[in-house]
Chains A and B, each alone.
Chain A
Amino acid sequence: MNSSVLTTKSKSTIPVFGILVLSIIFAAGLFVVGFDQGHIFSLVYGEQAFTDLYIHELTHDMRHAAGFPCH
C-alpha cells in the first residue's frame, strides 16, 4: 500500500517585511493585554498612570480568563 498522502505546497515566498510587522504587533498586543500595569499611559500621564491603571482594568477580565497573572 502506498503510504504517501497528498499535501498542498505553496511556491510563494514569505514576505520578510510582513513577518517583521507581525512580530511587532504580537509583542505589543501581548504586553497590552497580559502585562501592562500603567506603563503605556505613563508615557503621557506620568506616575498617575500607575495609579489609574486604565489598560490594566480594561484588560482585567481577559487577563484572568486567558491565564495571565493578575494582581
Chain B
Amino acid sequence: MKTVLFLTIVLISGTLAGLVHGTVNFAIVEPYLDQAIGIENQNLFASGEEEDTPEFWVEYEGYRVWQKSGQILAGVILGVSVGSLFGMVFALSKNSLPGNHYVKKSLLLAGIMWATLYLIPFLKYPANPPTVGDAETVVLRAILYLSFIAISGIGAVAFYKLSKRFENNKKIISLVGYGIFISAVFFAMPENPDEITAPMSLVNEFRLMSVLGVSSFWISVGIILGLFWNRFESHKETTPYT
C-alpha cells in the first residue's frame, strides 16, 4: 500500500471514530460532568473560595460552554492520535492476526488494544469526574496512568512475541503469563492518592458512561479501518492459517 493511501485511511478512520467517541460522550457523559461540576461549585461556595454572585455565573458559563463545545473536537484529536497508533499496530500485525477478512482482523486487534491499553489500566486508575482530584497530584497521577498503560502495552507485545516460540496448542501459556505479569504490576503500582469526596453513585455511573464512550471509539476504529483496508489493499491472498 502506498504511503499516502496508508496515511489517509488511518487518519480518516481515527477522525471518524473520534467523532463517534465525542458524540457519544456528548450524549451520555456530559450530564454527569454537569452534575459533578455543580457539586464542585457548591464546594467552592461552602469553602469561601468563590462567592455565589452573578459575576461568578457569567464567568462560569463562559468557560463551561468552551469546555462542552470542545468535547467533540477533542474526540476528533484523540481519535486521530489513538487511531494513528492503531493504524501502525495493524499495519505491523495484520498478517499475524487470524481471520479471512480485514474487518475481523481489525476488530480483533481493536479488542486486544482496548483491553490492554484502556480497560486494564482503567481498572487500576478509573476515570473520575470533576470534583474528584487534587491539582497538586495531577502530575503524579499522569505519570502513574501513563506508566501503567505503557507497561501493559509493552507486556502484551512481549508475551505475544514469546507466544510465537510455542506450538499452537501451547500458546495459551503466553496469555496466562501476561495475566500473571499484569496482575503483579496491578498490585505493585501505587494507588491513586486522591480521596473521593463525591457521591459514589455519581462516580460509578460516570465511570460506566466513560467505558461506554471509549468502547464506542475502539469498535468504530476497528470496523472503519478494516473496511478501508479491505477496500484499498490490492495485493492480498487467502491462505490457511494454522
Contacts and interface: CB of A to CB of B under 8 A. Distances in A.
A66 B70 contact: no
A8 B105 contact: yes
A42 interface: no
Contact of A10 (B118, B142, B209, B236): B236
A30 B88 contact: no
A59 to B, nearest CB: 4
Nearest to B118: A67
B95 A25 contact: no
* Dominant secondary structure of chain B at its interface with chain A: helix
Interface in A1-46: 3-12, 14-15, 17-19, 21-23, 25-30, 32-35, 37
B184 interface: no
A28 B82 CA distance: 10
Contacts of B102: 8
B221 interface: no
A70 B213 contact: no
B112 interface: no
B87 interface: yes
A62 B85 contact: no
A57 to B, nearest CB: 5
The 4 closest A-B CB pairs, nearest first, are A29-B81, A7-B241, A62-B74, A69-B141
Interface of A: 3-12, 14-15, 17-19, 21-23, 25-30, 32-35, 37, 57-71
18 contacts: A5-B240, A6-B238, A7-B239, A8-B102, A8-B105, A11-B236, A11-B237, A22-B10, A29-B77, A29-B78, A33-B77, A34-B78, A61-B30, A62-B74, A64-B33, A64-B130, A65-B25, A70-B138
